[in-house]
Amino acid sequence: MEQKQFSPDPEIRCKDYKIGCIGSGFIMADVQLMAYDEAGFDVIAIASRTKANAQGVADRWNIPNVYSSPEELFEDTSVDIIDIAYPPHLQLALVREAVTHAHIKGILVQKPITVYFHEAREMVKLCEDKGKVLSVNQNMRFDQSMRVLKQILNAGELGDVVIGTIEMRAIPHWQAYLADYDRLTLLNMSVHHLDVMRYLFGEVEDIYVSARHDPRTEFSHTDGICVSNMHFKSGVMGVCIDDVWASPVADEFESDIYIKWRVEGREGLAQGTIGWPDYPDGSPSTLSYCASTTGGKWITPKWDTMWFPHAFKGVMEQLQYALKQNETPVLSGRDNLKTMALVEAGYRSLKEKRAICPGEVENEYN
């Protein structure tokens, strides 16, 4: 059977805008700036909490301007887009300052956008009131397997979807600042999976979350290992298993670390893996599907690019293109409120031991 044509990576349609980066940690230094360099985006400035760290990253990626603070960078009138990669509890304050500068056209913030839904709503409203385009770095939507899966779903090849699952057995390297939060896995890891399920299946009717303590994570937390059960308004059932224990860690222990996903429809089945747990060695995510349209035979598209770092090209490109076209970005702040409401509903479900409608959360702040 003739191999179908898919688009695992987005076209770079726009790279006209000058970027100022806030943050010099791993995700900026090792992932985003590598992607931007490959895509040809124009990064002209960087600042961080420590100027020496920012200088080291600037030297590595040939960034011409290094500032002592984010506030100093905001004053650079040649910067069009502010790209913030700070801990979520610090991002709102940075956005409050950034929107006061007329020359700044767009703002990209890391996921999660903030720690709590009401803070995310404040950020979105602030940017809208000031006429700034806000986008959120929900980069899993640009993972190659997720993009191709979305194309298969949009073409109706699986028919009506019955159930979709994401199963993660992986051990995150939790950032030190998370020890000060009352939220862990749902906010900082499940947010990827909850958001990409919204991308695939639409809005959620209700979510029920169960969780237990992760024995490996020494600081206090309530949501270590999480299982999220969702009913979508489209009729799809969704299940996310976020197992951050995964296995004991020892030199002689042969762990089985992976992220797998599976989507079952009335006319077909798709399944695959996410390559992220292999980082930094790296491997592409995978996808195979069989459907009535394939004669019931498995088709396995191939690509060489990976979620880390290549998906981050798409995140920045969709913001640049939205600015050029004067339209809403795919990863808009307004859309991300739906994901943050889902996360907030998950925490409420965990506390109240019942299914929660994300609409309950959104309506409280309308």
**pLDDT one-digit tens code per residue, 258-296:** 999 999 999 999 999 999 888 888 899 999 999 999 999
The verdict on residue 323 lying in a domain is: no
What pLDDT score does 234 carry? 97
The verdict on residue 288 lying in a domain is: yes
What pLDDT score does 277 carry? 86
Any bridge partners for residue 273, and if so which?
A: 260, 286
Q: Are residues 164 and 209 in the same domain?
A: yes
The verdict on residue 263 lying in a domain is: yes
What pLDDT score does 3 carry? 64
Q: Reply yes or no on whether the pLDDT at 2 is more than 90.
A: no
CA dist 286 and 261 (Å) reads 10
Residues 15, 18, 23: CA angle, nearest 5 degrees: 115
- The chain-wide mean pLDDT, for the chain, equals 96
Do 203 and 232 contact (CB within 8 A), yes or no?
A: yes
| Overall average pLDDT of the 132-161 stretch | 98
Residue labelled with tokens 């995510």: 285
CATH number at residue 210: 3.30.360.10
- Which tokens go with 124? 């979105």
Q: Are residues 175 and 301 in the same domain?
A: yes
Residue labelled with tokens 């809208």: 128
Q: Reply yes or no on whether the pLDDT at 179 is more than 90.
A: yes
| Overall average pLDDT of the 199-213 stretch | 98
Q: Are residues 118 and 205 in the same domain?
A: no
Q: Are residues 191 and 113 in the same domain?
A: no
- Residue-number span of the structural domain to which 60 is assigned: 18-139
Torsion-angle region of 113 (φ positive above 0: left; ψ -120 to 50: alpha; else: beta) = alpha
Give the list of residues 6+ apart from residue 95 with CB closer than 8 angstroms, or none. 84, 107, 109, 123, 126, 127, 134
Which of 139, 174, 189 corresponds to the end of one domain?
139
Residue labelled with tokens 């506390």: 351
Residues 6-41: tens digit of each pLDDT:
999 999 999 999 999 999 999 999 999 999 999 999
Helices (H), 223-332: 311-325
- Helix, coil or strand: residue 198: helix
The verdict on residue 44 lying in a domain is: yes
The verdict on residue 332 lying in a domain is: no
Output phi, psi for 291, to 5 deg: -155, 175
Q: Are residues 187 and 215 in the same domain?
A: yes
Listed in order, strand segments (DSSP E) in 213-257 are 225-232, 237-243
Residues 351-362: tens digit of each pLDDT:
999 999 999 999
Calculate the alpha carbon distances from 224 to 135, 189, 220, 323, 339 in Å: 28, 10, 10, 39, 19
The verdict on residue 327 lying in a domain is: no
CA dist 99 and 97 (Å) reads 6
State how many domains the chain has.
Answer: 2
The verdict on residue 7 lying in a domain is: no
CATH number at residue 25: 3.40.50.720
- Helix, coil or strand: residue 253: coil
Helices (H), the chain: 26, 33-39, 51-61, 70-74, 88-98, 117-130, 144-154, 185, 191-201, 311-325, 333-352, 358-364
Which of 123, 139, 155 corresponds to the end of one domain?
139
Do 261 and 167 contact (CB within 8 A), yes or no?
A: yes
Q: Are residues 263 and 117 in the same domain?
A: no
- Helix, coil or strand: residue 89: helix
Give the list of residues 6+ apart from residue 365 with CB closer than 8 angstroms, or none. 117, 118, 121
- Helix, coil or strand: residue 121: helix
Q: Are residues 207 and 305 in the same domain?
A: yes
Which of 101, 124, 139 corresponds to the end of one domain?
139
Give the list of residues 6+ apart from residue 258 with CB closer than 8 angstroms, or none. 167, 168, 169, 170, 273, 277
Residues 322-335: tens digit of each pLDDT:
999 999 999 999 99
Any bridge partners for residue 188, and if so which?
A: none
Distance of alpha carbon 1 from the chain centroid: 35
Q: Are residues 135 and 146 in the same domain?
A: no
Name the pLDDT band for 82 (thresholds 50, 70, 90): very high
Higher pLDDT, 70 or 252: 70
DSSP string, 18-75: EEEEE--SHIIIIIIHHHHHHHT-EEEEEE-SSHHHHHHHHHHHT-SEEESSHHHHHT
Q: Are residues 176 and 106 in the same domain?
A: no
Q: Reply yes or no on whether the pLDDT at 177 is more than 80.
A: yes
Do 208 and 170 contact (CB within 8 A), yes or no?
A: no
The verdict on residue 3 lying in a domain is: no
Q: Are residues 87 and 226 in the same domain?
A: no
Residues 207-231: tens digit of each pLDDT:
999 999 999 999 999 999 999 999 9
Q: Are residues 128 and 232 in the same domain?
A: no
C-alpha dihedral (41, 43, 48, 54), degrees to nearest 10: 110
Q: Are residues 127 and 148 in the same domain?
A: no
| Amino acid residing at 35 | A
Any bridge partners for residue 107, and if so which?
A: 82, 134
